[in-house]
């Protein structure tokens, strides 16, 4: 009489990558890192689901407790910037520079108070990271502004005439614009985005930062629908650039090139009326291309380039997610109780055997995912 194979018996072994054990659904590991096939929703549906799935996975209570502080801080900062008037000095360059420095000081004070209330410990500056961030910001800014300008010139809807030629107090104007770029990015992405990103996903932090960025550039944002979307996606682009470089120096540099070269030199970017320009741009053709009163900040070309910049960071986000995900799995294994079964094994009849489904799937699970599913996991 032959002995029957019971669970955990000698017959339940793995041969040639196969097993004669019929695994129950409950025995298959479904913890961190496990992959469940999802129906293809299409590119647009997958893109939307990134944010919907991120919202479902969000800690709503923590967000509800953090949101009021961020909103109050943003309101105080915006009020300080909007209510401080232009310093009445005879020299326009000195007047504008002092005004921008006052705006920067107001935001700096608000940021210090915010950090004190949140008990945030400032990170030690990494010189190499800051230098890399500045280099990336310079590259992004030149491609950003140069791409839009080149396309407009190529389609012959933009030409330049002689403006002021040389500006009196050029150094003062340059300093004023640097203070303006630093104030805007310190407020929107250096404080709001960076603080929220430490506790929440990219989507939440980027949305809050975009609202602040829109408020600081409200006069240009409301010129037409394209200017609103252009500035909105510019903020998301800055958030993505910070995510890539790890420092908001990147967004400061890119934004400074945009307003200094694009505004002060080329006259293509909307700045307060008292700012001069070395060249006078002349636009002809469709408002969709030229941007109308918003200039290139209301151009469809700028909007498309902003979106292309955002998509250019997708592969980086997926790679970063994979690395963080693997680190989380290693940490979870270390913290798992001693009697808990390892994720790549299964307990059958009181004994532990390799989980064939998990063992085989470990090498291919992430590779089999679609691009949008990998991106969705990041959020």
Give dist(CA 117, CA 166) in Å, integer: 46
Query: Do 165 and 265 share a domain, yes or no?
Result: yes
Query: Do 350 and 249 share a domain, yes or no?
Result: no
Query: Do 94 and 76 share a domain, yes or no?
Result: yes
Query: Do 175 and 199 share a domain, yes or no?
Result: yes
Per-residue pLDDT, 11 = 45
Query: Do 113 and 198 share a domain, yes or no?
Result: yes
107 found inside a domain: yes
Place of tokens 């300008």: 149
Element holding 314 (H helix, E strand): helix 314-335
Write out the DSSP string of 48-74.
HHHHHHHHHTS-HHHHHHHHHHHHHHH
Write out the two tokens for 104: 């920067």
**pTM for the structure as a whole:** 0.72
Is 242 in contact with 254 (CB distance < 8 Å)?
no
Query: Do 141 and 67 share a domain, yes or no?
Result: yes
Query: Do 225 and 252 share a domain, yes or no?
Result: yes
Could you give the number of structural domains in the chain? 2
Query: Do 76 and 209 share a domain, yes or no?
Result: yes
Per-residue pLDDT, 6 = 45
Query: Do 117 and 87 share a domain, yes or no?
Result: yes
Per-residue pLDDT, 58 = 74
210 found inside a domain: yes
- Residue 241, domain extent: 63-312
2 found inside a domain: no
Q: Which of these three, 312, 339, 356, is where a domain ends? A: 312
Place of tokens 């650039």: 241
76 phi, psi to nearest 5 deg: -65, -45
Helix, strand, coil abundance in the chain, percent, nearest 5: 65, 5, 30
11 found inside a domain: no
Helices H / strands E in the chain, number of each: 15, 6
What are the CA-CA distances from residue 337 to residues 332, 343, 359 (Å)?
Answer: 10, 12, 21
Write out the two tokens for 29: 């590991």
Query: Do 142 and 277 share a domain, yes or no?
Result: yes
Give dist(CA 204, CA 54) in Å, integer: 9
228 found inside a domain: yes
Query: Do 177 and 109 share a domain, yes or no?
Result: yes
- Burial (CB count <10 Å: 0-12, 13-18, 19+), residue 25: exposed
Candidates 289, 370, 354, 358; CA nearest to 329 is: 358
- From first to last of the 379 residues of the chain, give the pLDDT tens digit: 444 444 444 444 444 444 444 434 433 334 444 334 344 555 555 556 656 666 777 777 777 777 788 888 888 888 888 888 888 888 889 999 999 999 999 998 888 888 777 766 555 567 888 888 999 999 999 999 999 999 999 988 998 876 655 677 889 999 999 999 999 998 899 888 888 888 888 888 888 899 999 988 988 898 888 899 999 999 999 998 998 888 889 999 999 999 999 999 999 999 988 898 888 899 988 888 888 889 999 999 999 999 998 888 766 666 666 666 677 677 766 665 545 555 556 565 556 555 555 444 444 554 556 666 656 655 5
Place of tokens 């682009």: 237
Query: Do 323 and 288 share a domain, yes or no?
Result: no
Specify the 3-state DSSP secondary structure of 219. Answer: helix
82 found inside a domain: yes
221 found inside a domain: yes
């Amino acid at each position: 009489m032959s002995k029957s194979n019971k669970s955990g018996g000698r017959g339940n072994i793995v041969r040639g990558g196969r097993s004669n054990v019929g695994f129950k659904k409950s025995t298959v590991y479904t913890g961190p890192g496990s992959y469940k096939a999802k129906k293809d929703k299409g590119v647009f549906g997958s893109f939307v689901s990134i944010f919907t799935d991120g919202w479902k996975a969000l800690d709503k209570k923590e967000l509800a407790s953090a949101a009021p502080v961020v909103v109050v801080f943003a309101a105080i900062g915006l009020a300080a910037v909007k209510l401080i008037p232009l310093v009445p000095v005879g020299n326009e360059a000195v007047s504008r520079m002092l005004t921008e420095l006052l705006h920067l000081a107001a935001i700096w004070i608000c940021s210090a108070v915010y950090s004190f209330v949140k008990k945030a410990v400032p990170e030690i500056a990494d010189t190499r990271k800051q230098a890399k961030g500045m280099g990336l910001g310079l590259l992004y800014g030149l491609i950003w502004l140069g791409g839009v300008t080149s396309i407009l010139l190529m389609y012959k809807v933009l030409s330049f005439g002689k403006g002021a030629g040389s500006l009196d107090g050029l150094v003062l104007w340059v300093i004023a614009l640097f203070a303006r770029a630093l104030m805007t990015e310190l407020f929107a992405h250096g404080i709001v985005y960076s603080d929220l990103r430490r506790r929440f996903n990219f989507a939440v932090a980027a949305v809050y930062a975009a609202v602040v960025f829109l408020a600081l550039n409200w006069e240009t944002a409301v010129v037409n629908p394209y200017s609103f979307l252009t500035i909105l996606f510019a903020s998301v682009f800055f958030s993505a650039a910070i995510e890539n470089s790890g420092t908001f120096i990147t967004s400061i540099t890119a934004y400074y090139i945009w307003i200094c070269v694009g505004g002060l030199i080329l006259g293509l970017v909307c700045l307060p009326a008292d700012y001069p320009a070395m060249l006078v741009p002349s636009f002809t053709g469709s408002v969709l291309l030229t941007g109308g009163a918003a200039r290139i900040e209301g151009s469809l070309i700028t909007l498309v380039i902003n979106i292309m910049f955002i998509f250019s960071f997708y592969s980086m986000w997926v790679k970063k997610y994979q690395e963080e995900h693997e680190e989380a799995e290693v940490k979870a294994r270390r913290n798992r109780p001693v009697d808990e079964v390892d994720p790549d094994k299964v307990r059958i009849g009181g004994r532990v055997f390799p989980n064939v489904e998990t063992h085989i799937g470990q090498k291919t699970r992430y590779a089999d995912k679609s691009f949008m599913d990998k991106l969705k996991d990041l959020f």
